[in-house]
Amino acid sequence: DAGVIQSPRHEVTEMGQEVTLRCKPISGHNSLFWYRQTMMRGLELLIYFNNNVPIDDSGMPEDRFSAKMPNASFSTLKIQPSEPRDSAVYFCASSYGTSGGVDIQYFGAGTRLSVL
Amino acid sequence: AQSVAQPEDQVNVAEGNPLTVKCTYSVSGNPYLFWYVQYPNRGLQFLLKYITGDNLVKGSYGFEAEFNKSQTSFHLKKPSALVSDSALYFCAVRNNFNKFYFGSGTKLNVKP
């Protein structure tokens, strides 16, 4: 398996523009996570899906952020409108969860977002 | 409040010397504990985990970690550091509700 695939790797946009980040989880994994990493705030969990259903979105900063998982092999994180403070590295991770819970998370390489 | 603490922003060690990266946690129930490593411009990679059983867990690249329930700690260790171990290390804990908490990260510098 190629691992978790994120696109694009880098995104530069202007304030006010819509940004869409994409993630393809590892085949067979049923849990998907979106994280944001900044120097100031470290690694923050934004949202967690299980079997394509959002389970915990308490980390989504505000209504400008939205995430979808239309099927088991694809997820998007959208920011509309984008602001300079959204500049960060966004990671997607997937995992296989059982009745015992979610286990090891496998991270993608991340998308570095710069909002000018 | 549930949290993970990595008290050291940076750890410096000479190659060949033992290393320890500290982690303490506060979470309800029985925690699942993890260590991840992040190299520059890369995503986090799993190193090792503790769920139950032996308190000393062995993982990738010669790393190990010791779970101490009374001290609520899960320190990462390696007997002999390599320059290639230089990276950012994250401790993480999962509670009974599948909520993950990551520490702030510790930068490990191994000098030749």
Mind listing the pLDDT tens digit for each residue in B38-86? 998 889 999 999 988 889 999 999 999 999 999 999 999 999 999 999 9
Q: Which long-range contacts (CB under 8 A, 24 or more apart) does A46-54 make?
A: A46/A77, A47/A77, A48/B98, A48/B99, A49/A75, A50/A97, A50/A102, A50/B98
A93 at B interface, C-beta within 8 A = yes
A99 at B interface, C-beta within 8 A = no
Mean pLDDT of A91-101: 85
- Residue of chain A minimizing CA distance to B97: A101
Choose among A31, A104, A109: nearest Cβ to B42.
A109
pLDDT digits (tens, 9 = 90+) for A1-45: 679 999 999 999 999 999 999 999 999 999 999 999 998 888 999
Q: What integer best gives the mean pLDDT of chain B? A: 93
Alpha-carbon gap, residue B8 to B12, rounded angstroms: 10
Alpha-carbon gap, residue A83 to A17, rounded angstroms: 8
User: Sorting pLDDT into bands at 50, 70 and 90, what band is B99?
Assistant: confident
A13 at B interface, C-beta within 8 A = no
pLDDT > 70: what percent of chain B?
99
Alpha-carbon gap, residue B31 to B77, rounded angstroms: 20
Alpha-carbon gap, residue B2 to B96, rounded angstroms: 12
Residue A14's CB: how many other CB atoms inside 10 A?
A: 11
- Residue of chain B minimizing CA distance to A58: B99
Residues of B in contact with A48 (CB under 8 A): 98-99
- Residue of chain A minimizing CA distance to B90: A43
Instruction: Yes or no: say if B102 and A33 are a contact pair by the CB < 8 Å rule.
Output: no
Residue B67's CB: how many other CB atoms inside 10 A?
A: 19
